[in-house]
Amino acid sequence: MLSSLSYFVFSTKKGNYYVYDNETGIVYPITEIQKEILELYRHQYSIEYIKNILEKKYIPKEIDKEIDNIKLISSKYKLFVPQSAPEIHCNIEEVNKKKGIRQLILVVTENCNLRCKYCIYSGHYEMHRTHSKNYMPIEIAKKSVDFYFNYNSEYIETNPQNQLCIGFYGGEPLLNFELIKNIVHYVNAKYNQNDILYTITTNGTLLNDEKIRFLVDNNFSINISLDGSQIEHDRNRVYANNLGTHGDVLENIKKLYKIEKESKKPNKNEFKIMTCFDHKSNLLEVSDFFDNNVYLKNRHARIMKIIPDKTTYCSSDDKNPFIKKLHTQFQQSYEKNKQSFISTFFGPQYTLLFSRDFYKVNPTRGNCIPGSKLVVDYQGNFHMCDKMSNNYPIGNIHTGFNYKIMKQFMNSFYENISNHCKDCNVSRLCMLCFANCEDKSGEFKVDKTICERNKSSLPMNLSNLYSLLEENPNLFNDAI
């Protein structure tokens, strides 16, 4: 099935023009006349008609020359052809068995000692659960680990380089520290596997000497949430009594920093920071805070936008100017904090754009295949992603993966996007995934608000990115 021509033209701050070809991922510099030709051609006007229109502005010889040049680059790089339909059929069972499960994530408790205002479990998000006092029993955790090791055993033999990874997630996972300790001992005793990567995402308030030493000794990759200066952080990240957590988190980070430095273990993982920002954040202030703190500089694992969709956390009045403000502030903070700038403002699809693997590996977009990652809730039910609600279980520790339901989810998602997105000229840049398409019906549906925002912001991002590249052609040498 063929659909329409899939490219768009954009300009940079210096006034230079480029064309982005969605089918190949190629971005090519073009002249002003080429830009006008391509814009008209995209509306499927004939070459003769395009020439007639442009002859009012340019001399015919020049137009002919530029049409020839476009034909040349088009045949050389296979640009400006009708977009092919996304490849939607894949045998999940076969793919998962071949690749194994990348990561096991144990949701060790649904409880948390904080009540962050933007938390996905705050009750402001229509699809998601709220905080509860549920804790994962040790037997469920052990069975999950056994399932993970058994499933991957064939894969480990054929791909010994692949590192197994077990993550502990919540709520606040350190509220179930005993289980975490038990699981590490269980894995060591039963599987004798030294190179497991353990990860934990914590709010940092419960870290003490004992916990820090255990995590550091077992080479955990520790991710701590910290949103910047006290004002920025405490605006959202508060205890249940509404008091800010900034002071406690920072103190614990200093302890962790010291213990890590004293640790004699070679190849140890260094703790990382996760920062969230929302429509009220002052990003320049956030950036300054991290740059000027010796414990925190260059420690970021991720910086995430609180996406104002399907939530009552902020009103629609807050949402509208949000994207514009982001663009301006990130543009200004770029010179100060290149690393965070690249990974947050532009998102991973832009760095992948430069490596081209995106196009080879994933013919559709950035989403994963159900089962490539395994999230287990406190009752032992399997879920495909930690960013998703519990409304789409894909199996459990007793019966394993339910491939029938996984195929149904996959089909529901791809059928919806292949209908909705087939003519879209930014589809390869759009990172819409299962988590954005959850719907009360139990199917997956493209959210029209997210779609419209992506259609306008993705070309704008590309234009900003190329404006920066013109200033600094080595941008990606440091970032990738």
Residue numbers of the site for ligand SF4 (CB under 6 A)?
A: 112, 114-116, 119, 121, 170-172, 203, 417, 420-421, 424, 426-427, 430, 432, 446, 451, 454-455
Least CB distance from residue 256 to ligand SF4, whole Å?
Answer: 17
Closer residue to ligand SF4 in complex, CB, 23/172: 172
Least CB distance from residue 419 to ligand SF4, whole Å?
Answer: 10
Least CB distance from residue 436 to ligand SF4, whole Å?
Answer: 8
Closer residue to ligand SF4 in complex, CB, 333/454: 454
Q: How far apart are CA 241 and CA 403, in angstroms?
A: 44
Dihedral angle at the C-alpha atoms of 32, 34, 39, 42, nearest 10 degrees? Answer: -170
Closer residue to ligand SF4 in complex, CB, 119/465: 119
Closer residue to ligand SF4 in complex, CB, 33/116: 116
Least CB distance from residue 121 to ligand SF4, whole Å?
Answer: 5
Closer residue to ligand SF4 in complex, CB, 141/458: 458
Least CB distance from residue 87 to ligand SF4, whole Å?
Answer: 15
Closer residue to ligand SF4 in complex, CB, 19/430: 430
Sign for the CA dihedral angle at 164, 108, 171, 432 comes to positive
Closer residue to ligand SF4 in complex, CB, 121/135: 121
Q: How far apart are CA 79 and CA 18, in angstroms?
A: 13
Least CB distance from residue 76 to ligand SF4, whole Å?
Answer: 27
Least CB distance from residue 58 to ligand SF4, whole Å?
Answer: 33
Least CB distance from residue 358 to ligand SF4, whole Å?
Answer: 14
Closer residue to ligand SF4 in complex, CB, 100/204: 204
Least CB distance from residue 421 to ligand SF4, whole Å?
Answer: 3
Closer residue to ligand SF4 in complex, CB, 98/455: 455
